Structures are given as C-alpha cells and as structure tokens.
Amino acid sequence: MNQKERIVEELKLLENMKTISQEELMQIFSISKDTARRDILKLVESGLAERYPGGVSLPVLKPQIESYTSRLVKQSEQKQKIAYVAGKVIKDHKTIYLDVSTTVHFLASGLEQNDLVVVTNSMDNAIAASQKEDNKVYLLGGFFNFHSRVLSGEPVLGQLQQFNFDVAFIGGAGLTEEGVFYSELTDVYMKQEIIRNSEKVYLLVDSTKVNKKTAFKIDFSGIDAVITDEPLPKDLMQHLISKEVEVISLKGL
C-alpha cells in the first residue's frame, strides 16, 4: 500500500476514532516510525487533521473529507505522471538538483538512471534517491524544519554556489503570467540560486497551481521548460512562448 492509499484509509479511521496515534498507525498499517511520521505530516499539511503530541485528530473545523480524499488521490496520480515525464530528460552520469515539492519527490522516488550525482535540501528526496546505490546523494546542510523535513537558510545558499547542475527540477505554489509563486521569501532565494547554477531548469507543476498567487514570486528568467498535466490557459501559454519557455503538457503526449 502506497502513501496515497494509506491516507485514504487513515482518514476513514479518523472519521470513526476522532484521534489516532503514531503507534496505532504503525501497528494498523505495519509501517515504520518514519513512514508513520510522514503520513502524519501529510495529513496535517493537507488540512485534514490537527497534530497533537504523539498523533493526529480531526480538525475542529472538519473539511469535507470524502471529496478532498478523492481529489488528493487524483492529484497524486497527476503528479506521478508529471514526474515520470520529467525523469525521461535525465541522462546517465549527470548532476541534478531536486527541489522540495511533492511532484519532485515522486521524481526522486523513480530515478532509473545510472551514476547520478543528486543534490537536494529535502531529507525525503535524499532518502528516495539513495535507494539506487550507484547514485551519489548530497543533502545540503542548514536549518532543519522538522515538519517539512527540509534544510534551508544561508548555509544552504552558500553550498548551492559550489555546484554546477546539468539539470534542476523545481516546484511552485502558483503559476501565472507574472511568474512562479512561493509561500516563503527563502523559497525565492533558493530558486534563484538553483537557477543561477543550472544548465537547464524544469518547473514541475500540476493544474491546481495554475492562476494561483502567493506572497512571493520569481520571473521566468532561466526556466527552460514547464511540465504540467493539463493544457495551460491560452494567455499564459502565449506568455511562456514569448519568454522562450517550452511547455510540456501530459495531454499533448
């Protein structure tokens, strides 16, 4: 059972039990402590549960779980397909950067190439990429965020300057004609440094991110291609073409 299937079952349990502990998740689904922790993080980040010491509970303002669950599964499937297409552009013996996003994590989990140098600031990406033993994986060091399992800050920016990436894969919280949007200013600094040190940059976003804005953004300078699941709105498509950004849509494959 993969994570998205477990999330569906865990939500059903939450509906009945109201609270569920990490230990109960481990026992019921026969999973490790780290896997249970990642499931809890997914539930909390998705707004489906609230964290309490040792587990999760239904949120006070409970969302419509059934409809959200089906939507979550569908989005995960689309993200996996985007990641599969992105993986096809990677060649053996290359140095790649894997950004922090669920879509990029699917890419990290499915790497099939040989002798890659993989650089990331995501602990989960590093673990996933390490499953192929001939990969050399560099986990950048910095401030560790327990909830997102990501390292960030000035040390990470400094380390990025020491690499030359053949290709980088980044995510985004939103995509409009104005640029690619992020929730934190530190995300912007990270993306700018990644782009500066990459020969080619792919932006991986699913259709739920289109026409969404957050507080911070970067422009399309240095982004070579966008891989997404649905055709983009005409105005956005034309704008990207004018910026010489290739658009790869799953519906066009």
pLDDT digits (tens, 9 = 90+) for 98-152: 999 889 999 998 999 999 999 999 998 999 999 888 999 999 999 988 777 899 9
Contact by Cβ (8 Å): 35, 7: no
pLDDT digits (tens, 9 = 90+) for 63-89: 444 444 554 555 788 999 999 999 999
pLDDT digits (tens, 9 = 90+) for 215-249: 999 999 999 999 999 999 999 999 999 999 999 99
Q: Which of 19, 4, 177, 142 is nearest to 75 (CA)?
A: 4
Topology of domain 79-252 in CATH is Rossmann fold (3.40.50)
Q: Which tokens sit at 176? A: 């409009």
Contact by Cβ (8 Å): 32, 26: yes
Domains 3-63 and 79-252 share a fold: no
d(C-alpha 192, C-alpha 197), whole Å: 9
**Domain range annotation of the chain:** 3-63, 79-252
When the candidates are 3.30.70.260, 3.10.450.50, 1.10.238.10, 1.10.10.10, the CATH number that belongs to 3-63 is 1.10.10.10
pTM: 0.73
Contact by Cβ (8 Å): 206, 103: yes
